Copies of this chain bind each other. A is one copy, B any other.
Amino acid sequence: MELETYLKKTADEVNSLLQDCYGDPKTALSRAANHLLFAGGKRLRPALFKLAADAVTPGASQKIMQAGLALEVTHNFTLIHDDIMDKDVYRRGQKTVHTLWGEPAAILAGDVLYARAFFLICNAEAPEGAKVRAISLLARTCEEICEGQQQDMSFEEREDVTRDEYLDMITKKTGVLYGAAAAIGSLLAGGSEAQVDALYTYGCKIGAAFQIQDDLIDLLASSEKSGKDQASDIREGKQTLIAITAREKGIDLKPWRRSLSKDDIVSLIALLNEKGVIHSVEQEANDMISSAINGLSVLPDTTEKKLLADLAWYFIKRDY
């Protein structure tokens, strides 16, 4: 099966399961908690959960797919709280939860989803020991996501973020939840320790590469293409891998922290290309994806293993 068909099918399945679980909210708080969850999204984490489960035990995902919702629900909890912290007004084309219901209700809506994530794993049709390991991993993951968000916020006050600090931050903020999705899927499906570990590492790596790709898109994709302001990270002086690599190569990006015309952006990209910054950052993301895929050698050869490799490359698809 083609990856994109697989993802579309899984998203439909996830949406239908979410509807079964939470489609009939009884309280005002449940409606706030549901808002973002039912506002779309590509459902990549449950898709990864499903691929990982079926990659270690063919057909296993059928019985445990509800537990795969836990990853989507966790992701949504973090988005609701992040949106409060970042004072964002829109997400997935809709007003954010705190914009619609106020900050107190949005804090609680996130907290409700947090609880539901653990509840979903408890209810999985899987051995009790596997569920405890899965819950333990999800708890550790949530703590790391919080650390990543805190690091990200603290970087705004700094000019000297190192490459390692940046990679640690994006791994925590974005990578570990993909790692947990793959690991928990394979854990509940009865995967071996080596398989679960390999899938965890794979998920962390593709998640981090996705974040690097996001930084490249911010710089390289036109507003028409991305729907966002081009080069906003550079304008705001954000510490991304591009900014860090530029600094390492002796380029001072401070003069570019200003309103940038289309011509300015063309000149800036030319400069970063000339000094090899963009190539170097693209290479880093590429290397992460290759390394993630290499780690999957512990898996038997199945359609799912192939789809996992496709998914990894899909994460850094160049759409600019």
A136, closest chain B residue (CB): B122
B128 with A116: CB separation less than 8 A: no
Scoring A residues 44 to 88 as 1 if CB is less than 8 Å from chain B, else 0, what string do you get? 000000000000000000000000000000000000010011000
Chain B: minimal CB distance from A241 (Å): 22
Scoring A residues 112 to 138 as 1 if CB is less than 8 Å from chain B, else 0, what string do you get? 101110110011000111011101101
Contact of A153 among B104, B111, B129, B149 (CB under 8 A): B104
Chain B: minimal CB distance from A256 (Å): 27
A122 with B150: CB separation less than 8 A: no
A150 with B108: CB separation less than 8 A: yes
Q: Is the interface of A mostly helix, strand, loop or mixed?
A: helix
A140 with B119: CB separation less than 8 A: yes
Q: Can you sample 25 A-B contacts with CB below 8 Å?
A: A27-B147, A27-B150, A29-B147, A81-B111, A84-B107, A85-B104, A104-B153, A108-B149, A111-B142, A112-B143, A114-B114, A114-B142, A115-B143, A115-B146, A116-B139, A118-B136, A118-B139, A122-B133, A122-B135, A123-B136, A128-B128, A128-B132, A132-B132, A132-B135, A135-B135
Say whether A221 faces chain B, with CB atoms less than 8 Å apart.
Answer: no
Chain A 204-232 interface residues, beta-carbon cutoff 8 Å to B? none
Other than the given A103-B103, A107-B107, A118-B135, 5 more pairs (CB < 8 A) read A84-B104, A108-B149, A112-B146, A128-B128, A128-B132
A105, closest chain B residue (CB): B150
B111 with A146: CB separation less than 8 A: yes
B140 with A115: CB separation less than 8 A: yes
Scoring A residues 187 to 206 as 1 if CB is less than 8 Å from chain B, else 0, what string do you get? 00000000000000000000
Please list the residues of chain A having a beta carbon within 8 angstroms of any beta carbon in chain B. Answer: 27-29, 81, 84-85, 103-105, 107-108, 110-112, 114-116, 118-119, 122-123, 127-129, 131-133, 135-136, 138-140, 142-143, 146-147, 149-150, 153-154
In the complex, what residues of B have CB within 8 A of residue A29's CB?
146-147, 150
In the complex, what residues of B have CB within 8 A of residue A114's CB?
111, 114, 142
Chain B: minimal CB distance from A310 (Å): 32
B122 with A132: CB separation less than 8 A: yes
In the complex, what residues of B have CB within 8 A of residue A119's CB?
136, 139-140, 143
Q: Compute how far the CA of A82 lies from the CA of B123 in the bound complex, rounded to whole angstroms.
A: 29
In the complex, what residues of B have CB within 8 A of residue A27's CB?
147, 150
A87, closest chain B residue (CB): B104
In the complex, what residues of B have CB within 8 A of residue A122's CB?
132-133, 135-136, 139
Q: Compute how far the CA of A150 lies from the CA of B27 in the bound complex, rounded to whole angstroms.
A: 10
In the complex, what residues of B have CB within 8 A of residue A143's CB?
112, 115-116, 119
A126, closest chain B residue (CB): B132
In the complex, what residues of B have CB within 8 A of residue A135's CB?
118, 122, 132, 135
In the complex, what residues of B have CB within 8 A of residue A116's CB?
139, 143
A85 with B111: CB separation less than 8 A: no
